[in-house]
Each structure stands twice: as structure tokens, then as C-alpha cells.
A and B are shown apart, each in its own frame.
Chain A
């Protein structure tokens, strides 16, 4: 199918974009990378009245670091994050580990991190990281600006706390301290597929004991989630990893956290090719491996 007819505007400033979005009687959609929106329009699952193309809005492509946070504008493309140097420290490493899992280079040249947060696909890699690292989503409308904490933002599959007339101008991440270890792992069928399970993790330790543990899970429930129960069992544990090539013993805190993430935190929905029981098994294994990868970063 082809997209149904719609009106199109390409504003040059944020204010012009907000004015266009303010017409709430019509179905108005922001066009960023278009890598989800135009696909949905082809399938006519979305039939907007007006498309507001923000690609010519000045300033939205900015990526800036100040006061321990990194702010990523609405037009920063996925591909930028393939370089671990795009963002300083452990966060840059985590972004780079995740970015290569998102589709393939031509999609990553167009699609944006903020577009992924706006779309809120239950399997989106960026959504896992935004939750795990307490990102803040910056939105604006003609009525003013507000900030939505990632923990309050995801409301269901493709559902968020953003109001229809709000533009996400940027997302802000606090920069984790330098000694933080990060991990990202994903299981999917082919390169073109969304994740069957993806896990983002960050660990910090003091005097050899885990002081902070963050685990974000996607495609493990109807929306991106944080594995709070699994995180709890890690706090205060000794941070150790088995020698390279050795499996995690069943009683290892990372293996236990994996089991708890799968059984208590996750609520996988039925989907083709990967039923919930299978996905729980994958979650248990992947959470263990991702924590191990993060711990190796701490111990280096």
C-alpha cells in the first residue's frame, strides 16, 4: 500500500513546529527519521492529516555535554552513537554497544534516538537505556516546556506520557561516574528484526561490593521496563566474574539476578517465534551475561 493523502509542512524553527502541532482537532504527526512513521503510513495503520517534518528545524541536531549530563537533540541519528566517543565515558560505550543492534546502516543514518523514544516500541534498545539510566525527556508545546522522567514516561505499547501537541526537543542522560561498568546484549532472529529480548545494564562498586545496579529490559513486557527486583539482589554483593570462558555458576549473584528478572520483573507477551516461556529463559541467560559484561568493565 501507499500512504494516504496528508498535508505537509517543513518548519524552520521550533516555534513554527509547535504551532503546527497545536492543531489538536486533526491527527498531526512529527516526522523525524521517518523509519517507523513512513512504514506505518505505508501500511495505513497511521493516516495523518498533517505531517510536520522537523528535519529542517535549526538546532535540533545538537548533542551537548554540560554539568554531568548529555543532552541529545531530536535530530541526532542512531548512527552517531556507533562511535563510543560520541558521548564521554561509560555512557558512550553503552550507546555504542546498543546502536549496532538497531536495524542496519541506512536505517541508522535516518532514524533518531528521540524518535525511538517517541515511538516507544516495546523492543526499542534506546528505551531500555533511557529507563536504566534515568533519562529525562524534554517536551515543549505552545503552552510551555516540561521534563518527563523516563520512569513516568512509558505507559504501554507505543504509549507514552507525551501529549499530542508536545514536541520532544531532546533527551537528557546523567553521565554515570567513570568507574561504572556497562553492558548491552540482545537476542533477535535476523539483522532486520526487532529484539526478542534486549538487556541494558550498568554496575558500580565500592570496596569490591556492588553499590548501584541498573537493568533495563525491552520486549520483556508490554512496554520497556526496569528490573527492580533483580537489581535489589545485587546490591551489597561482592563483584566477581568467573575466569574468561567459564560459565556463571547457578548460585552466582548475576545468575540469580537473571532468574529473578525473568520470573518476577518480566511479563513477556505471546508473540510469533518466541513464546513467553522461551523468552523468560532467554531473559535469565541474557541478564546474567549482560551483568557479567558490565562487571568486567568495573573490574578492568
Chain B
């Protein structure tokens, strides 16, 4: 089937079988391998991407369902000059990743939630609820929760004049 996906602002005209899930098409056809596949059961969240701004499991969505829709993956987070996204900076500063396998999913679930409602970052309980969406098997959830709260406090999700201390590590996180 012929479809067009808009991924991170770029149009991808594709010819895909209906049976192919969005995650596989992003990885294999669009060559965007930042989106990871863990369980393919909707459980782990490694495959989380934004479709029309909403965080969804790309393992439980067919690529053909996204024809004409706008998809955002972890590759779309950094600025045009390669400047890491505030969430990426905060993950690095808070040591919120070790192996990094789960990281794209956590970044996207957090990006979707904070862009929809920046006040989530003010409430540790709501961030906790968000972090429960995904599985991390090595870092642990506390640094991830702290990173999301730091990004919310420091970035333009909320008040751009919000201030806050500079993240410890300013460089590009190594994914």
C-alpha cells in the first residue's frame, strides 16, 4: 500500500504491506533506528513515539494507520543544529540512562506529556505515573523521574524565564 508518513517534519512516501507495524517501518524503511523494540507487546515502552502529538506504542500500531499523520521519533528531539533537547540534557545530567535501550521510549513519553501539559513536571506523583508507563531494566526509575522534572523546570515546556541551574553535563548525550 502506498502511504506517506511525515516523520520529524520530513515526508516519506512509502510502499508498505498492511501487516507491518509502525516501529518496523520507521526502523527499516525510514532508517530511523532510534526507536527500539523490546517486547512487541505494548508493555515495555521502548518503541514509544508521538503520533499527532500523542505518545503511542509503535509496536501496537500499523504503519498504514499513520498514512498522512505526523510522527515524531527520538531523532526529532534535537534542534536543527544538533543541540540536544532539554529532556536529553536532563537525562544526561541526572544519569538517567545506562545501556540506553529504554531511553528513546522514556524521552518520547515524557516529551508528549510535557508538551501537552507542562504542569505535569510540578507534580512528582504525575511524573511517577508517567514513568510507570515504561520499563527500564538497568538505570532505575528515580533518576529518570528526576530528569523529567529537571527538564520541565529548566526548559521552554514551561515558562522560558523559569531559570534553574545549568545542567551539569552540557554535551550531547551518547545514545
- Where the two chains meet, the residues of A that have a C-beta atom closer than 8 Å to any C-beta of B are 2-8, 10, 31, 34-35, 38-39, 41-42, 51, 53, 55, 103-107, 109-110, 191-192
Contact = CB atoms under 8 A, between A and B. Distances in A.
B19 A192 contact: no
B44 to A, nearest CB: 9
Interface string B26-69: 00000000000000111101001000001111011110110100
Interface in B128-143: 129-130, 132-133
Given A105-B133, A107-B60, 9 more contacts: A10-B65, A10-B67, A34-B62, A38-B21, A39-B41, A51-B18, A103-B42, A109-B54, A191-B132
Given A3-B21, A6-B19, A105-B129, A42 B1 contact: no
Nearest to A42: B40
A32 to B, nearest CB: 11
Contacts of B19: 2-6, 41
B18 A34 contact: no
Residue among B18, B55, B129 with the most chain A CB within 10 A?
Answer: B18
A8 B61 contact: no
Nearest to A34: B60
Interface string B7-34: 0000000000111110010000000000
B132 A110 contact: no
B114 interface: no
B57 A105 contact: no
17 contacts: A5-B17, A5-B19, A8-B62, A10-B65, A10-B67, A34-B60, A35-B42, A38-B61, A42-B40, A105-B129, A105-B133, A106-B45, A106-B55, A106-B57, A106-B109, A106-B133, A191-B132
B113 interface: yes
B103 to A, nearest CB: 16
A8 B67 CA distance: 13
Contacts of B54: 106, 109
A55 B109 CA distance: 22
A82 to B, nearest CB: 10
Nearest to B108: A106
A4 B20 CA distance: 9
A2 B42 contact: no
B41 A42 contact: yes
Contacts of A41: 19
A11 B24 CA distance: 24
A211 to B, nearest CB: 37
A34 B61 contact: yes
Contact of A8 (B1, B57, B60): B1
B109 A34 contact: no
Contacts of B64: 8, 10, 53
Contacts of B59: 38, 42
B65 A53 contact: yes
A110 B18 contact: no
